[in-house]
Amino acid sequence: MTKVIGLQNLQCFFMNLKLDSKVIIQGFSEFISATHIDQMKAYGTHLVAGVNPGCGGQKIYNLPVYDLVEEVITKYGNIDTTILCVHPYQVLDAALEALASNIRQIIIISAGVPPLDMVQLLRKAEACETLVVGPNSPGIIVPGKILLGTQPSEFYTPGKVGIVSRSSTLTYEIAWELTKAGFGQSISVSIGSDAIVGSSFIQWLQILDEDDSTQAIVLVGQAGGDREEAAARYIAEAIDKPVIAYIAGTHAPQVKHWHKTGTLAAVIGRNPDFGAATSKLAAFKESNVPVAERPSEIPQLVKEVLKKKS
């Protein structure tokens, strides 16, 4: 099967995840705090500036602030990654400004971005070969290397297990379970849980499958939508590395709308099982992907699949 990722050069992505990668923050809304800024700095992330129109010349959370991304580029040169923390209705404008400045990695922390804004943004991002993570995402962490977003770094340790998740706090919990069991992580990313997000499970599965530092992958899904079913089919067809899955919300009422997951499960005319955890579990079973019943079981499943691989 032909690989489906929109980015032609995956190595460019990993090359930009290094200590000297230049990172900016656009916006200082409720989605980010001084604690998050301090945590990124303490982790070694090279935060060079913030952008907040009308606040140019000030300092926010000890970051120099500019009115425009273009001003940051003039001062510091090319920027590798921007972290968007603006109001959800300002995300499109902020992201388009970043794209115009040739920033090729955009992480959207903000939640509740209008779906049509995301559709427009993703069309532009695809044309520019830009990776978008989020919205409604705590970002990316490469343990021991770089932190981009609000993930709590104390739960992570460098290792060989890649985590890709729709959740936020569940991602940290599973990382902590792995860390306690002696399994470090190569990278952890939350793709976001709004109705429409940038990068997908399939894209990240491909990235991790081609990453030499990753030996096993943990996929964390939840009720709502059909992203997990698509991922399960892709794993069976194209992924060589072992994958373990965990699905949250297995006991949630089937007709329940999860605000945090942006579920579209009750659309008229769809199969009544659409978006249900049972559908996702069945898809992984059909693809022979081990599924943990609870986060605490994941380390043992990782141990088993790595043992089989060796």
Going from N- to C-terminal start, the domains of the chain cover 10-133, 139-309
CATH of the structural domain 139-309, one choice from 3.40.50.261, 3.40.50.12370, 3.40.50.970, 3.40.228.10: 3.40.50.261
Query: What are residue 108's DSSP bridge partners?
Result: 84
Tokens linked to 16: 């930009």
Rounded to a whole number of angstroms, the CA Rg of the chain reads 19
Q: What is the pLDDT of residue 268?
A: 47
Q: Check for a shared fold between 10-133 and 139-309.
A: yes
Q: What is the pLDDT of residue 224?
A: 82
CATH of the structural domain 10-133, one choice from 3.40.50.10800, 3.40.50.1000, 3.40.50.720, 3.30.70.1560: 3.40.50.720
Q: How far apart are CA 197 and CA 122, in angstroms?
A: 9
Q: How far is CA 180 from CA 176, 177, 213, 220, 294, in A?
A: 6, 5, 20, 18, 15
Q: Are 155 and 53 in contact (CB under 8 A)?
A: no
3-state secondary structure of 96: helix
* Per-run averaged pLDDT (10 residues), the chain, 310 residues: 45 64 94 94 95 96 96 96 97 98 96 96 93 96 94 96 95 97 97 93 94 96 90 96 91 54 48 77 95 96 91
The helix/strand count (H/E) of the chain reads as 10, 14
Query: What is 132-200 written as a DSSP string?
Result: EE-SS--EEEETTTEEEES--GGG--EEEEEEEES-SHHHHHHHHHHHHTT--EEEEEE---SSS-SS-
Q: How far apart are CA 114 and CA 96, in angstroms?
A: 15
Residues 6+ apart with CB under 8 A from 199: 131, 132, 133, 189, 191
Residues 6+ apart with CB under 8 A from 181: 299, 300, 302, 303
Q: What is the pLDDT of residue 13?
A: 61
Q: What is the pLDDT of residue 18?
A: 74
- Crossing angle of helices 115-127 and 91-100, in 10° steps, is 10
Note the pTM of the prediction, 2 decimals: 0.90
Q: Are 244 and 301 in contact (CB under 8 A)?
A: yes
Q: How far apart are CA 5 and CA 200, in angstroms?
A: 9
Q: Are 261 and 166 in contact (CB under 8 A)?
A: yes
Peptide bond into 135 cis (omega under 30): yes
